Amino acid sequence: MFKVLVIGYVWPEPNSSAAGYQMLAILRAYKKQGWRVTFVTPANKTEHMVDLAAEGIDSQAILLNDDSFNSYVSAYKPDIVHFDRFMMEEQFGWRIDQCCPDALKVLDTVDLQCLRDARHQAVKANRAMTLADLTSDLAKREIAAIFRCDIALMISAYEIDLLTEMFRISADLLHYLPFMVDLSALAKSTKSFEARQHFMTIGNFRHGPNWDAVLYLQSIWPLIRKQLPDAELHIYGAYPPSKATALHQPKTGFLIKGWAQSAYDVMESARVCLAPLRFGAGLKGKLLDAMMMQTPSVTTAIGAEGMALPGLPWPGHIAENAADIAAAAINLYQNQAAWEVASNHTIMHLQPFDANQLTTQLIEKITCVKQGLAQHRLNNFTGAMLKHHTMSSTKYLSQWIMEKNKS
């Protein structure tokens, strides 16, 4: 039986974000093997965090830049250490190497933050993304963390191609793990066209691409409302700031709903999901929720990236400007035949997210690499080099912070 230590960036909130949903799915996959799983994080507890004890998972708060973690991890002696995002590998990776050098290091990238940031820079400058955007200091940090780990979990096949082709990362270091869905638990049918009304979107307001989409919807919604004066746009998401609630306009049907107890319920009640994402990376949880609830969606190429199966039509429309997004949304809302075709297409795209199959593949990858870990690391000279140099600087910075805190 393996002992797994998961070092989280935040406490898992499966009802607040796609990242929280995926983290809980991974924890359950580890637990399903009979492995002992412990979740630790330096983050503060939150009101929407999952009850890990109810899942049979131990948890503990840890400190940044503190040698107490060394004592803790040396006593725990994990066989596998799972880092939630590259920042946790930067903070704790060198300590794992020092205290538990034989532990398998798994990095869950969640999405490529350097890609998301590069696209954001391009959107802000109203231009195409450049090589300079993509090879930023953030990219250097994130790519270095991938090299230093034994396995990097990648949620998007698009991002795997980017890493192997542009950054020359060996495919042996990467493992494809999209969102994990229990397909057997999905309803065979959901609400009909006639039983649904209004538009919706959902996403944690703290996530930059989601907030940008809300701002973009302010330009799109008047075009829709002009043709559909009785329609409403319901905007859901955890942690809406005051700048978001200030956008609430009942007279125009632009409604900031905030936290949704069940994303599935509000998704199933809507006739169309709007996801006009202008930047981002990874896979989009709101679009997966739409597929699961058989709700047609209107999104951008970036929104659909990594989710649309080759040769299959998108279950709705993909459009790139406000006028086209609005026109597509209006058509789906009014045209029952087009809506039903799109709704039927949602089921076709769900097969790659089968949790049973993905769990089997994940455990096989971990087990295989763990058994041949010495050779696996010999094959990754770049990773060894980065551990030698990069982590030394991170280590000494952390030790400097510790000494500063003492004084």
Question: Which long-range CB contacts under 8 A does 182-187 form with residues at least 24 apart?
Answer: 182/355, 182/356, 183/350, 183/351, 183/353, 183/354, 183/355, 186/292, 186/350
In the sheet that holds 316-318, the strands lie side by side as 254-258, 233-236, 199-202, 272-275, 297-299, 316-318
298 contacts 317 by C-beta, under 8 angstroms: yes
Q: Are residues 218 and 342 in the same domain?
A: yes
Digit-coded pLDDT (tens) for 113-143: 999 999 999 999 999 999 999 999 999 999 9
pLDDT of residue 135: 96
Where among 311, 331, 349 does a domain terminate?
349
Q: What is the pLDDT of residues 336-380, one digit of tens each?
A: 999 999 999 999 899 999 999 999 999 999 999 999 999 999 999
The pLDDT score that the predictor gives to residue 147 is: 97
Is a pLDDT exceeding 70 seen at residue 300?
A: yes
What integer pLDDT is reported at residue 391 of this predicted model? Answer: 57
Position 283 pLDDT exceeds 80: yes
Domain that holds residue 113: 3-182+354-406
Average pLDDT over residues 231-243: 95
pLDDT at 63 over 90: yes
Provide mean pLDDT across the span 88-113: 96
Residue 333 exposure: Cα atoms within 13 Å on the Cβ side:
25
| Residues with Cβ within 8 Å of residue 194, at least 6 apart in sequence | 336
- Do residues 209 and 341 share a domain? yes
Handedness of CA 300, 176, 378, 398 (dihedral sign): positive
- Residues 225, 89, single domain; the answer is no
Q: pLDDT tier at 28 (50, 70, 90 boundaries)? A: very high
Q: What burial letters (b/e) apply to 317-351, b meaning 16+ CB within 10 Å?
A: bbbeebebbbbbbbbbbeeeebbeebbebbeebbe
Q: Name the pLDDT band for 310 (thresholds 50, 70, 90).
A: confident
Mean pLDDT within 74-98: 96
What mean pLDDT is predicted for residues 168-179? 97
Query: Do residues 69 and 82 share a domain?
Result: yes
Residue 392 pLDDT grade (very low, low, confident, very high; cuts 50, 70, 90)? low
d(CA 397, CA 343): 53
Question: What local confidence, expressed as pLDDT, does residue 317 receive?
Answer: 97
Tens digit of pLDDT for each residue in 177-204? 999 999 999 988 999 999 999 999 999 9
Residues 207 and 342 in one domain: yes
Q: With bands split at pLDDT 50, 70 and 90, how would you rate the model's confidence at 398?
A: confident
pLDDT score of 90: 94
Residues ≥6 apart with Cβ < 8 Å to 55: 24, 27, 28, 31
Predicted confidence band of residue 404 (pLDDT cuts 50, 70, 90)? confident
Please compute the mean of the pLDDT values over residues 22-30 and round it to a whole number: 97
Last residue of a domain, one of 326, 349, 372: 349
pLDDT band, very low/low/confident/very high, at 394 (cuts 50, 70, 90)? low
- Kindly report, residue by residue over 333-342, the tens digit of the pLDDT: 999 999 999 9
What band does 402 get if pLDDT is binned at 50, 70 and 90? confident
pLDDT at 406 over 70: yes
Q: What is the mean pLDDT of residues 4-20?
A: 94
Question: Mean of the pLDDT values across residues 72-81?
Answer: 97
pLDDT attached to residue 390? 61
207 plus 170 within the same structural domain: no
Residue 403 has pLDDT above 80, yes or no: no
Mean pLDDT of the residues in the chain? 94
Q: How confident is the model at residue 1 (pLDDT cuts 50, 70, 90)?
A: confident
pLDDT score at 234: 98
What pTM was computed for the model? 0.92
The burial class, CB within 10 Å (0-12 / 13-18 / 19+), for 135 is middle
Using the 3D structure, point to which of 349, 372, 387 is the last residue of a domain: 349
Are residues 177 and 193 located together in one domain of the fold?
A: no
The CATH code of the domain that includes 298 is 3.40.50.2000
The pLDDT of residue 16 is: 87
Q: Same domain for 200 and 59? A: no
Q: How many domains does the chain have?
A: 2
Q: Are 58 and 120 found together in one domain?
A: yes
* Strands 272-275 vs 199-202: parallel, antiparallel or unpaired: parallel
Asked if 229 and 177 sit in the same domain, the reply is no
In the predicted model, what is the mean pLDDT of residues 58-81? 96
Verify that 345 and 358 share a domain, yes or no.
no
Q: Are residues 262 and 371 in the same domain?
A: no
